[in-house]
């Protein structure tokens, strides 16, 4: 007996429909015969002619053929590749409406998942919406039919393919204008078919490109990469294997670093990092987020603060400038080592760092048994529910939670309010990824 597939290719039938909502991934939502249809390129309030791309058991996926009645918030996308490239999903929606949509997503998750509502909505944090992306991964694919190598993000309609783009307006300006040149560079290399991706990372003064290569590079290729780095001001790294195999090709010892100025002057902190380390994608928003986190945490000279999922010390070290003691906890050994090095370089002696998998029970660890006045959390998408099984202690009176996923924040907010007796005193969104549906947010909880 065969089992029918719940997903199938749909015939190219065009249908008119009203778009009644904007989905959490940036696609418009329509209902046809009672079934949800997610429509790429459509906005809430529009009437469109759509084409079904793929049918599923409980929903269908479609694309806009024609906008019959446009939203008043529809704008002309800046990028000519919008709609083909999957790197952005909201360039056709004006900036204010993008922020409002993200705020609605956060509010909906709080109400639906956490069953909580903040006492105060914080004004959204925004920064420069173009040229903001300092960290990411570009896909690379040699396409024989086009006679060249494509470098960019995956296609919106078919993520198996790399979008054919020539530049990118959201990338760091030193990189975004050179996408086509990088494609030409790889096209001319002996290893053109053996480079699947290029990671990029920008510090304040240096932009690094990390070329992943599946086979050893010829001397000719190494010379070409070096010459490209010299000509365009990029630090070039090679990655022949896993993360630990990354090493510089040119210059011999590049330095990646960025400054944070939480209080200005003597309170400046500079963080050095490696090109594959996690850093906040948006440098301008990171500075604004830091200022807001400090305002909400309200660090005092006598406070002892615990920073969980601390990474390189992005929050830990600025906090250390203002409190008696701070401890940062992170699961990746390399990040913890570099955080400790950053503390030493900045002359900070009251910050300690610990390696611990925060998705496992750590209640026996010394740092977990100590009383902390305040807590800062910046977890990955999975959130912090494992940590919240044993923290915070009764001595903790304030928690600042930085989130990259509204559903996990909402779940954890419910835990803090309903199980630990905290009040969700304020929350709001931060536009860390303009022109995308990604929702970054921050919340503060008080006893």
Assess contact for 44 and 71: CB atoms under 8 A.
yes
Q: What letter would DSSP give residue 388?
A: G
How far apart, in whole angstroms, are the C-alpha atoms of residue 170 and residue 429?
A: 20
Catalytic one among 79, 85, 310, 404?
404
How far apart, in whole angstroms, are the C-alpha atoms of residue 443 and residue 447?
A: 14
Distances in Å between the Cα of 145 and the Cα atoms of 185, 200, 210, 296, 334 are 18, 27, 26, 55, 42
How far apart, in whole angstroms, are the C-alpha atoms of residue 293 and residue 359?
A: 24
The helix or strand, by DSSP H or E, that contains position 310, with its residue range, turns out to be none
Count the neighbouring beta carbons within 10 Å of the beta carbon of residue 256: 20
Assess contact for 161 and 133: CB atoms under 8 A.
no
With CA atoms as reference, report the closest residue to 14 among 70, 66, 69. 66
Q: Mapping DSSP to helix (H, G, I), strand (E, B) and coil, where does residue 286 land?
A: helix
Helix 406-418 with 95-109: angle, nearest 10 deg: 40
DSSP string, 91-152: TTB-HHHHHHHHHHHHHHHIIIII----SSBPPPB---SSS-B-EEEEEEEEETTTTEEEEE
Residue identified by tokens 């304040």 is 204
Question: What's the chain's Rg over C-alpha atoms?
Answer: 24
User: Active site includes 404?
Assistant: yes
How far is C-alpha 263 from the geometric centre of its chain's CA atoms?
A: 25
415 is written with which tokens? 């835990």
How far apart, in whole angstroms, are the C-alpha atoms of residue 295 and residue 400?
A: 10
With CA atoms as reference, report the closest residue to 26 among 96, 81, 90. 90
Catalytic residues: 404
């Amino acid at each position: 007996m065969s089992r029918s597939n719940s997903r199938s290719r749909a015939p190219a039938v065009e249908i008119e429909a009203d778009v009644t909502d904007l989905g959490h991934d940036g696609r418009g939502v329509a209902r046809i015969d009672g079934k949800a249809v997610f429509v790429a390129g459509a906005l809430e309030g529009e009437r469109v002619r759509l084409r079904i791309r793929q049918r599923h058991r409980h929903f269908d996926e479609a694309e806009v053929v024609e906008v019959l009645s446009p939203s008043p918030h529809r704008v002309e996308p800046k990028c000519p590749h919008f709609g083909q490239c999957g790197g952005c999903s909201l360039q056709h929606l004006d900036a204010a409406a993008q922020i409002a949509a993200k705020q609605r997503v956060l509010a909906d998750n709080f109400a639906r998942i956490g069953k909580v509502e903040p006492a105060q909505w914080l004004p959204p944090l925004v920064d420069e919406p173009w040229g903001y992306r300092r960290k990411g991964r570009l896909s690379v694919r040699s396409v024989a039919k086009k006679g060249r190598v494509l470098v960019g993000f995956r296609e919106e309609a078919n993520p198996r393919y790399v979008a054919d783009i020539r530049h990118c307006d959201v990338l760091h300006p030193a990189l975004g204008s050179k996408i086509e040149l990088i494609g030409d560079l790889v096209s001319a290399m002996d290893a053109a078919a053996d480079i699947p991706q290029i990671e990029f990372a920008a510090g304040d003064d240096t932009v690094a490109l990390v070329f992943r290569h599946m086979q050893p590079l010829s001397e000719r290729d190494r010379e070409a990469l070096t010459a490209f780095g010299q000509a365009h001001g990029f630090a070039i790294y090679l990655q022949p294997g896993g993360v630990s195999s990354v090493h510089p090709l040119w210059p011999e010892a590049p330095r990646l670093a960025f400054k944070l100025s939480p209080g200005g002057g003597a309170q400046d902190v500079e963080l050095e990092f490696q090109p594959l380390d996690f850093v906040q994608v948006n440098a301008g928003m990171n500075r604004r987020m830091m200022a807001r986190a400090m305002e909400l945490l309200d660090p005092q000279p006598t406070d002892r603060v615990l920073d969980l999922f601390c990474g390189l010390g992005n929050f830990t070290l600025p906090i250390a400038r203002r409190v008696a003691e701070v401890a940062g906890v992170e699961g990746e050994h390399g990040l913890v080592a570099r955080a400790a090095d950053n503390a030493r370089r900045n002359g900070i002696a009251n910050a300690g760092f610990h390696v611990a998998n925060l998705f496992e029970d750590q209640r026996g660890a010394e740092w977990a048994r100590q009383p902390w006045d305040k807590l800062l959390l910046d977890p990955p998408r999975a959130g912090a529910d494992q940590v919240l099984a044993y923290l915070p202690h009764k001595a903790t009176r304030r928690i600042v939670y930085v989130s990259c996923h509204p559903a996990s924040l909402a779940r954890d907010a419910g835990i803090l309010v309903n199980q630990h007796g905290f009040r969700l005193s304020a929350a709001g969104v931060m536009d860390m990824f303009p022109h995308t549906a990604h929702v970054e947010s921050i919340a503060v909880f008080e006893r």
